[in-house]
Amino acid sequence: MPLTIESAQNIFSNTQVPSPIPATIALFDQLSVDDQLALLWYAYTEMGRSITPAAVGAARLQFAEGLLKEIQQMSTEDQMQVMRELAQNADTHISRSYGFFSVNTKLAFWYELAELMKQGVVAPVPTGYQMSPGVQVVLDSIKKLDPGQQITVLRNTVVDMGFEPVAPSSDTTAEPLFERSEPAPTKINVEGITEPAVISYFTAMNSDNFETAIALFTFDGALQPPFQKPIVGREAIAQYMRAEAQGLNIMPKQGISQTLPDGSKQVKITGVVQTPWFGVNVGMNISWRFLLNPEGKIFFVAIDMLASPEELLSLRPR
């Protein structure tokens, strides 16, 4: 039977625990736009975890600089309006430019606005703003998440803002490199796993060697990032990795591997990943579900955020 992406998406489904992240984002989506912006301000400042200075160099802001200058010159009321329009995906020129930014430029843009808010140059909440009870509900729900899930909620709300261009920008060659605040592990040792493609995948990712990582996939192979649809084909995966997988420190811990009757293998691994944005300050609990073809090439890998740290150890069906 040929391998299909649809069937690959379901491997190890009996070991999957639903993540609390979509439910938290659904609550967030129900808030009014002013409540959403205020909540993000509270969550961002209250979390008190530091973004590593290496993450936001001048290079990362080069694409956002024009917009940030424009916003700084506006009246407080206009600044608020721009932020509302971004959060509401309005079709305005600022919201359109933002929509073309890469994920990391979007994050850097808001990081810079947060800095300007701390300096009092940009207002964090509209004057006379009254928090609705819903904000507290969402804040409480965010507080219950582990730190890796909290930064994922922040990231996903930022990614969803702006006016979505019809064709997403595909030029990732200009994406500035991320520096690691800590060197990534070079020797990968995953308890229970010996599959060469899987071990080589982690080693290549930890040195941002995406060409090597891609060569481990079949030509029609796919990679499914957390809460996203699969990205299909080597070139599309390479582009995605150049834009979003730089500077990750990947620390897989343990896994299980099962050979299927046709000789293909399904492998599930759990471990911790650090993003260059937060470095060692935040570890994200992650699982990888690989489907390898009978020749040992990666046909599919799904990256999932774990629902709880306990899940790191529960690789067997429930």
Interaction site with ligand ECH (CB under 6 A): 37, 40-41, 44, 51, 107, 110-111, 113-114, 117, 151-152, 154-155, 158, 205, 225-226, 244-245, 248, 250, 273, 275, 277, 284, 286, 303
Give whichever of 287 and 293 is closer to ligand ECH, judged by the CB atom: 287
Nearest approach, Cβ of 66 to ligand ECH (angstroms)? Answer: 18
Nearest approach, Cβ of 33 to ligand ECH (angstroms)? Answer: 11
Nearest approach, Cβ of 160 to ligand ECH (angstroms)? Answer: 10
Give whichever of 2 and 127 is closer to ligand ECH, judged by the CB atom: 127
Nearest approach, Cβ of 149 to ligand ECH (angstroms)? Answer: 9
Q: How far apart are CA 199 and CA 252, in angstroms?
A: 9
Nearest approach, Cβ of 87 to ligand ECH (angstroms)? Answer: 7
Give whichever of 2 and 48 is closer to ligand ECH, judged by the CB atom: 48
Give whichever of 28 and 293 is closer to ligand ECH, judged by the CB atom: 28
**3-state DSSP assignment of residue 100:** helix
Q: How far apart are CA 44 and CA 110, in angstroms?
A: 11
Nearest approach, Cβ of 239 to ligand ECH (angstroms)? Answer: 12
Give whichever of 3 and 82 is closer to ligand ECH, judged by the CB atom: 82
- State which amino acid sits at residue 285: N
**3-state DSSP assignment of residue 123:** coil
Nearest residue to 45 via CA among 154, 146, 145, 132:
154
Contacts of 240 by beta carbon, 8 Å cutoff, 6+ apart:
223, 225, 231
Nearest approach, Cβ of 205 to ligand ECH (angstroms)? Answer: 6
Q: How far apart are CA 262 and CA 68, in angstroms?
A: 55
Q: DSSP letters along 124-187, please?
A: SS-TT----HHHHHHHHHHHTS-HHHHHHHHHHHHHT-SPPPSS-----TTPPPPPPSSPPP-S
- Kindly state the tokens that stand for 38: 């205020």
**3-state DSSP assignment of residue 191:** strand
Give whichever of 25 and 114 is closer to ligand ECH, judged by the CB atom: 114
Give whichever of 153 and 317 is closer to ligand ECH, judged by the CB atom: 153
Nearest residue to 190 via CA among 278, 286, 274, 264:
286
- Kindly state the tokens that stand for 28: 């967030």
Give whichever of 57 and 225 is closer to ligand ECH, judged by the CB atom: 225
- Kindly state the tokens that stand for 243: 């834009």
Q: DSSP letters along 277-311, please?
A: TTGGG--EEEEEEEEE-TTS-EEEEEEEE-SSGGG
Nearest approach, Cβ of 84 to ligand ECH (angstroms)? Answer: 10
Residues recorded for the chain: 318
